[in-house]
C-alpha cells in the first residue's frame, strides 16, 4: 500500500487528475468533499462557525451560506485562519477514518490524499510521494477568465491569494503538467499510477 498526496492551485486541474487516478484504480480521499460534509447542519464544525460568525452566515434552511462565508474570509486573513482552525481538525479526523477503512479492506491500495492545502498544512512532509498538478500562472489566469468570467485583475487576485504554483512545484516528488490537452494529462497520470503500483508493490483488491 502507498499513500500519496495530490495538490495543485486554482485552475490547474487537480480534480481532473484525481478523477483519472480513480479511474485507474486509486482510492481518493477528497479533503474538499470532506470539508463540505463536516460543516453540515448540526455538526460540531457547523455550530462553531455559527458561534463565531453569527447566524447571518446561514441560509434559510440553516445550512452554511458558503458564498457569504467565502466573501468574508477572502477579504480577511484573520477570519480565514479562524475558519481553518474550526474546520481542519474535523477534516483530518475524517480523512484518517477513511484511510484506516481503506487500509483494512484493501491492504494493497494506492491511496491518494486529494488536499488543496497539502503543502500549506505541512501534511506533505509525512508522505512518501507528493503529486503537484502544474500549469504556469498565465494559464491559470486564462482558465479562470474563461471558466468563471473573471476580469484579468479578478483572476490574478485569486491566483495570487494562494501559495504560488511554482513554490508548490518545489515540494513535489512528482509533477503532472496539465498545460496541454486532456490526452497528454491522462497519459501522464496513468503512467504515474503504474509507477506507484510498481514502486510500492500495490494492487487494488
Residue range 80-136, pLDDT digits in tens: 999 999 999 999 999 999 999 999 999 889 999 999 999 999 999 999 999 999 999
Q: What is the pTM of this model?
A: 0.90
Element (H, E) at 67: helix 66-74
Do 84 and 178 belong together in one domain? no
Asked if residue 33 is part of any domain, the answer here is no
- Asked if residue 22 and residue 93 are part of one domain, the reply reads no
Q: Say if residue 4 is exposed, middle or buried (CB neighbours under 10 Å; 0-12, 13-18, 19+).
A: buried
Strand ranges across the sheet with 174-177:
27-30, 110-114, 2-7, 129-134, 174-177
Given its phi and psi angles, is residue 149 left (phi above 0), alpha (psi -120 to 50 degrees) or beta? left
At residue 202, the pLDDT reads 56
pLDDT of residue 107: 86
Q: Are residues 91 and 175 in the same domain?
A: no
203 pLDDT exceeds 50? no
Provide the residue range defining the domain that includes 87. Answer: 40-107
With cut-offs at 50, 70 and 90, classify the pLDDT of residue 175: very high
205 has a pLDDT exceeding 50: no
Report residue 10 as a C-alpha cell. 486554482
Of 81, 107, 133, the domain-final residue? 107
- Alpha-carbon distance of 165 to 183, in angstroms, equals 22
Residues 116 and 202 in one domain: yes
Q: Are residues 9 and 76 in the same domain?
A: no
35 part of a folded domain:
no
The answer to whether residues 74 and 161 touch, using CB atoms and an 8 Å cutoff, is: yes
- CB-side neighbour CA atoms (13 Å) of 178: 29
Read off the pLDDT of residues 139-165 as tens digits, 9 standing for 90 and up. Answer: 999 999 999 999 999 999 999 989 999
Amino acid at each position: 500500500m502507498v499513500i500519496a498526496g495530490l495538490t495543485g492551485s486554482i485552475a490547474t486541474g487537480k480534480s481532473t487528475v484525481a478523477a483519472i487516478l480513480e479511474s485507474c484504480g486509486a482510492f481518493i480521499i477528497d479533503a474538499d468533499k470532506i470539508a463540505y460534509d463536516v460543516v453540515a447542519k448540526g455538526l460540531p464544525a457547523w455550530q462553531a462557525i455559527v458561534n463565531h460568525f453569527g447566524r447571518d452566515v446561514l441560509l434559510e434552511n440553516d445550512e452554511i451560506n458558503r458564498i457569504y462565508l467565502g466573501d468574508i474570509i477572502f477579504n480577511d486573513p484573520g477570519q480565514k485562519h479562524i475558519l481553518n482552525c474550526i474546520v481542519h481538525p474535523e477534516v483530518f479526523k475524517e480523512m484518517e477514518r477513511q484511510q484506516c477503512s481503506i487500509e483494512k479492506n484493501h491492504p494493497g491500495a494506492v491511496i491518494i490524499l486529494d488536499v488543496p492545502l497539502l503543502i500549506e498544512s505541512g501534511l506533505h512532509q509525512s508522505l512518501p510521494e507528493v503529486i503537484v498538478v502544474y500549469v504556469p500562472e498565465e494559464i491559470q489566469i486564462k482558465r479562470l477568465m474563461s471558466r468563471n468570467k473573471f476580469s484579468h485583475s479578478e483572476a490574478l487576485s485569486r491566483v495570487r491569494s494562494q501559495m504560488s504554483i511554482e513554490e508548490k512545484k518545489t515540494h513535489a516528488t512528482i509533477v503532472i503538467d496539465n498545460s496541454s490537452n486532456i490526452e497528454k494529462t491522462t497519459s501522464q497520470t496513468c503512467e504515474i499510477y503504474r509507477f506507484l503500483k510498481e514502486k510500492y508493490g500495490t494492487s487494488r483488491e
